[in-house]
Amino acid sequence: MLRYALLRLLGAIPTLLLVIVLAFLMVHAAPGGPFDDERGLPPEIEAKIAEVYDLDKPLPEQLWRYLSGLVQGDFGPSYRYRDYTVTELIAGAFPLSLRLGAMAMLLALVVGLASGIYAALRSNRLPDRFVMTFAMTGISIPVFVIAPVLVLFLAVKLQWLPAGWSGNEGLARWVLPVVSLALPQIAYIARLMRASMIDVLASDFIRTARAQGLGTMAVVRYHALKPAMLPVLSYMGPAVAAILTGSVVVEEIFGIPGLGQFFVRGALNRDYTLVLGIVIFYAALVVSLNLIVDILYGVIDPRIRQR
């Protein structure tokens, strides 16, 4: 098992390095600069500012200096929030983003798995068609459409829930952001679980379990659930990535002061280090979560480790 985990870790390192290099080049290729608003300054002061932030160096040298800082855990200073480093900004905003993503993922797993199992046990009947219709609708509608629609109906018209973050306290302010973020993932997980459960329930060992007199729920719980979970577990890596990237949109819509708002403002202000820091942080998080999923996959199915 240790060898399997180490091989997965060694495969993740080049992926993360490639993401860092591509993100650095793309950010610096964008038109404009972080100090364009200060063009009224004398040229010698502009040159001094560029020298302080290493912007006067050739691009390969800037990349090397940035990578050297990353090895030491230094994301660099923010160009716009000049009293803070990028590390401090991420450390202050990430707990909110983490809480939002964790609640959305938990909701997606609970509702998605339950819906998929329910649809599989009633395959080709009315409940199955209802669940699959909901799943197709959830997959087809993006988060930036779902969130405003929920705000319009549940917050503005019915006034059941708060429409924004500021000025609201308690769990009520989390409901709309979490539901908006979780709905597409509920749809994907429900479809995956339904298809996988139907396939497993048609297996020989399930027929043997039924022949021994076990009821449907006992068969599902003790025999079918574990193998049926494998496709869902494989999807967990992309699902977490979708929730993390989707949270940027949701945080901006609902005014949540998480990493999403910093990312959008950093991009608008050409704050290179802030944008790079958030992209690299998210990339490292996604790579780590995919690594955990791979290891869990090996734990559940020993054949993966043997291969």
Dihedral class, residue 125 (left if φ above 0, else alpha if ψ from -120 to 50, else beta): beta
The CATH number of residue 276's host domain is: 1.10.3720.10
Q: b/e for 263-298, b at 16 or more Cβ within 10 A?
A: bbebbebbbbbbbbbbbbbbbebbbebbbebbbebb
Place of tokens 């729920």: 217
Determine the distance from the C-alpha atom of residue 38 to the mean position of all C-alpha atoms in its chain, rounded to a whole number: 36
Considering only residues 181 and 34, tell me which one the structure prediction assigns the higher pLDDT: 181
**CA-CA distances (angstroms) from residue 232 to 86, 139, 235?**
35, 16, 5
State how far the Cα of 199 lies from the Cα of 232, in Å rounded to an integer.
14
Question: Residue 41 gets which letter from DSSP?
Answer: S
Tokens describing residue 26: 């793309």
Percent residues over pLDDT 90 in the chain: 2
pTM comes to 0.76
Crossing angle of the two packed helices 2-29 and 272-300, in degrees rounded to 10: 160
pLDDT per position as a tens digit, 179-217:
888 888 888 898 889 888 888 888 878 788 778 777 778
Q: Is residue 225, in this structure, part of any structural domain at all?
A: yes
Statement: residue 42 has pLDDT above 80: no
Could you tell me if 252 and 91 are in contact, meaning their C-beta atoms sit under 8 angstroms apart? no
Asked if residue 209 is part of any domain, the answer here is: yes
**Domain count along the chain:** 1
For residue 37, being part of any structural domain is answered with: no
Query: What CA–CA distance (Å, rounded) separates 180 from 189?
Result: 15
Tell me, yes or no, whether 89 lies in a domain. no
Of all residues in the chain, the percent with pLDDT exceeding 70 is: 84
Please indicate, yes or no, if residue 241 is contained in any of the structural domains: yes
Give the per-residue pLDDT at 2: 65
Structural tokens at position 275: 């944008």
CA 249, CA 38: separation in Å to the nearest integer?
Answer: 29
Q: State pLDDT tens for residues 157-166.
A: 888 888 777 6
Residue 34: which pLDDT band, with cuts at 50, 70 and 90? low
pLDDT at 12 exceeding the cut of 70: yes
Helix (H) or strand (E) holding 6: helix 2-29
Residue 131 has a pLDDT of: 84
Task: Tell me the angle at which helices 126-140 and 172-201 cross, rounded to the nearest 10 degrees.
Answer: 130
Q: Is residue 71 part of a domain?
A: no
**Per-residue confidence at 302, pLDDT binned at 50, 70, 90?**
low
Cα within 13 Å of Cα(258), Cβ side:
26
Q: What Rg, from alpha-carbon coordinates, does the chain have? A: 24
3-state helix, strand, coil in the chain (%, to 5): 80, 0, 20
Average pLDDT over every residue of 112-117: 90
Q: Is residue 26 part of a domain?
A: no
Tell me, yes or no, whether 19 lies in a domain: no
- At residue 39, does pLDDT exceed 60? no
Phi and psi (nearest 5°) for 48?
A: -65, -40
Q: Which residue has the higher pLDDT, 141 or 4?
A: 141
Kindly state the DSSP code that residue 39 receives in the 8-state scheme: T
Read off the pLDDT band of 227 (50, 70, 90): confident
Could you tell me the residue range of the domain that residue 267 belongs to?
A: 94-306
Report the mean per-residue pLDDT for the chain. Answer: 79
Q: How far apart are CA 184 and CA 192, in angstroms?
A: 13
Check residue 238 and give its pLDDT: 74
| Cα(171)–Cα(220) distance, integer angstroms | 34
- Length of the chain equals 307
